[in-house]
């Protein structure tokens, strides 16, 4: 079973689909990733891309980088999951713009009531570090309700949001304070890979996804991924998730590049679906011995 652990809610289902794009966010992203055309993809495009790539299931995330769209997008994800339960699970989100603690806590409660599996938050795009104490009630509520929390880590290409707020050592503090919480480090925190590996090894409930990245570079010496490539093939094999951040990165290409790498067959199976299946079942296996 192949599971894409993170695809974005299609544009035609989003609350802000007709709102003007904020130039300070998109301009640099478009220069680096050419996202303007791809982010307009629809649910029909997603289903077609999944079918062509042989993806059995995907987790749809209501992630966003600006605006106050959380409530509407959470409901949209829930409708999509209810209409296609065999194809989709869902992660909701909270309102980060003009952030208010109790509103965010209520939104986490609503996410659970909608039957979604987790909460996706991108704090750095709203000026918050990952361990900002204003987010602690959100983490606490998610842990209480058994929801996974997915957090944007590593580099972002916005010229107005510093990447220091996304350092994986900040995850260490969060995981120390919430040992019951399962956390996904979206994008695996490149360029701080040694630190990410250390934090993941210390905290078995921290998983890493590779959404929005070209997998082939993970296996290329000199790209900064060497330590994670080595450890995901053994000691961290239960903590890695296949993800594309669709429509940011093509699903077919991501699968092709992962399959071309020298990963153990059992590790590839866990990466492409086994670990995510366990995660969605609330039974993710954790830890392992170095081999």
Tell me whether residue 235 is in a domain.
yes
The CA-based angle 144-147-151, given to 5 degrees, is 115
**88: Cβ contacts below 8 Å, ≥ 6 apart:** 57, 58, 59, 60, 80, 81
- Give the separation between CA 3 and CA 242, rounded to whole angstroms: 7
Q: What is the pLDDT of residue 131?
A: 98
pLDDT digits (tens, 9 = 90+) for 2-34: 999 999 999 999 986 555 555 555 566 556 666
How many folded domains does the chain comprise?
1
- Report the 10 Å Cβ neighbour count for 283: 8
Closest CA to 246 of 90, 93, 59: 59
- The answer, yes or no, to whether residue 261 has pLDDT greater than 70, is yes
Tell me whether residue 285 is in a domain.
no
Token output for 97: 């713009």
42 CB-contact burial (10 Å; exposed 0-12 / middle 13-18 / buried 19+): middle
Tell me whether residue 205 is in a domain.
yes
Tell me whether residue 158 is in a domain.
yes
* Averaged pLDDT score across all residues of the chain: 91
Cβ(40)–Cβ(280) under 8 Å?
A: no
Q: Is 211 helix (H, G, I), strand (E, B) or coil?
A: coil
**24: Cβ contacts below 8 Å, ≥ 6 apart:** 158, 159, 160
- Give the separation between CA 166 and CA 34, rounded to whole angstroms: 22
The CATH number for 256's domain is: 3.20.20.140
Tell me whether residue 247 is in a domain.
yes
Helix axes 70-83, 101-113, angle to 10 degrees: 10
Q: What is the pLDDT of residue 288?
A: 37
**Residue of higher predicted confidence among 95 and 18:** 95
Alpha helices in 15-155 (DSSP H): 23-33, 35-38, 43-53, 70-83, 101-113, 136-145
Closest CA to 61 of 79, 71, 52, 73: 73
Tell me whether residue 57 is in a domain.
yes
pLDDT digits (tens, 9 = 90+) for 128-170: 999 999 999 999 999 999 999 999 999 887 888 889 999 999 9
215 CB-contact burial (10 Å; exposed 0-12 / middle 13-18 / buried 19+): buried
pLDDT digits (tens, 9 = 90+) for 112-127: 999 999 999 999 999 9
289 CB-contact burial (10 Å; exposed 0-12 / middle 13-18 / buried 19+): exposed
Tell me whether residue 41 is in a domain.
yes
Question: Can you give the residue range of the structural domain that contains 187?
Answer: 3-280
Tell me whether residue 289 is in a domain.
no
Q: What percent of the chain has pLDDT over 70?
A: 89
- Give the separation between CA 25 and CA 6, rounded to whole angstroms: 21
The CA-based angle 75-2-84, given to 5 degrees, is 30
């Amino acid at each position: 079973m192949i599971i894409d652990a993170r695809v974005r809610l299609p544009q035609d289902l989003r609350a802000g689909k007709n709102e003007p794009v904020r130039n300070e966010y998109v301009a640099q992203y478009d220069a680096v990733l050419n996202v303007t055309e791809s982010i307009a993809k629809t649910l029909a495009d997603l289903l077609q891309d999944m079918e062509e790539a042989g993806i059995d299931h995907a987790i749809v995330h209501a992630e966003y980088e600006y605006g106050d769209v959380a409530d509407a997008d959470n409901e949209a994800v829930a409708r999509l999951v209810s209409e296609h339960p065999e194809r989709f699970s869902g992660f909701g989100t909270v309102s980060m713009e003009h952030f208010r603690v109790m509103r965010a806590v209520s939104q986490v409660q609503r996410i659970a009531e909608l039957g979604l599996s987790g909460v996706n938050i991108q704090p750095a795009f709203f000026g918050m570090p990952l361990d900002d104490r204003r987010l602690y009630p959100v983490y606490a509520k998610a842990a209480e309700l058994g929801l996974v929390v997915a957090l944007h880590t590593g580099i972002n290409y916005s010229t107005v949001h510093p990447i220091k707020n996304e350092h994986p050592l900040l995850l260490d503090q969060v995981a120390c304070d919430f040992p019951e919480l399962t956390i996904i480090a979206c994008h695996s925190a490149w360029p701080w890979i040694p630190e990410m590996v250390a934090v993941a090894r210390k905290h078995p409930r921290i998983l890493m996804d590779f959404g929005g990245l070209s997998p082939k570079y993970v296996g290329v010496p000199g790209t900064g991924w060497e330590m994670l490539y080595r450890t995901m093939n053994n000691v961290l094999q239960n903590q890695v998730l296949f993800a594309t951040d669709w429509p940011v990165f093509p699903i077919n290409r991501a699968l092709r590049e992962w399959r071309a790498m020298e990963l153990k067959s059992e590790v590839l199976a866990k990466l492409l679906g086994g670990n995510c299946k366990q995660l969605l079942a609330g039974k993710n296996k954790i830890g392992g011995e170095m081999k």
